[in-house]
Amino acid sequence: MLICNRDRLISSVEHTSAVSLIQSQRDVFQGILTRYPEGKRAAEAGLEHLHYLDHFWLKLSLWQSWSEWGRLAAAAVIKIPVEGIIPTTNHLESFNMVLKKKYIEQHLHSGHRLRFDILIILLITEILPKVYSRRRAMREHASSFLAQCSIFSRYWRSELIRASGEARAVETGACSGDAQCLLVAYRHHS
């Protein structure tokens, strides 16, 4: 129930409808609490979660940042289709973790923060060239892999077409009886 409504909350474009959705869920849990004693713990947990959502995530400014309203507003500001607005910050959080753990950690000494000027120098001279080099290598590897898959796919497609033609030839008796036809006939009938 909460999972289905999570999607409705995320896709909300009016704050009042998001608040109403939480209130309707609160009413459902209150009903469970009063009518079904065996569901008391689950209903209380649901109400506690709704309280958390209502008092933290549904504050207007925060709601605007994660709801569909925020995506629409961002698309309007930067004048691109809403599909171009990524609905998550996971990519940024992932890059931040890689930046901190893979690239910056080796330059930290005794737990001291890296000076801003040193960070900028490292970003320009070491980190960004490594990031772009790695991305270029990944892109080249993906391109090579797709080319191999294409060759592999064409080969097997031609083999299947040939084999299906030979199988039809065996079925109709048009096969000349060579070893290849016998092999296809064996595969086809087993």
Average pLDDT over residues 30-46: 90
| Per-residue pLDDT at 43 exceeds 80 | yes
Nearest to 132 by CA among 160, 97, 103: 103
Half-sphere exposure of 13 (CA within 13 A, CB side): 5
pLDDT confidence of residue 140: 87
Q: Name the band, by pLDDT with cuts 50, 70 and 90, for residue 18.
A: very high
Question: What is the average pLDDT across 163-180?
Answer: 50
- Nearest to 95, CA basis, from 125, 42, 135, 38: 135
* 63 Cβ neighbours under 8 A, 6+ residues apart: 12, 15, 18, 57, 69
Per-residue pLDDT at 148: 75
Q: Where are the beta strands (DSSP E) in 44-100?
A: none
pTM listed for this prediction: 0.51
Q: Contact at 8 Å (CB) between 33 and 47?
A: yes
**What percent of the chain has pLDDT above 70?**
76
Is residue 7 predicted with pLDDT exceeding 90? no
- Token duo for residue 149: 């898959």
Give, rounded to a whole angstrom, the gap between the first and last alpha carbons of the chain: 50
40-49 mean pLDDT: 92
Q: What mean pLDDT do residues 33-58 have?
A: 91
Using DSSP's 3-state secondary structure scheme, residue 76 falls into helix
The string of pLDDT tens digits covering residues 117-171 is: 988 999 999 988 998 898 899 888 888 877 777 776 666 666 666 665 555 554 5
**Are 66 and 10 contacting, i.e. CB atoms less than 8 angstroms apart?**
yes
Task: Calculate what percentage of the chain has a pLDDT beyond 90.
Answer: 36
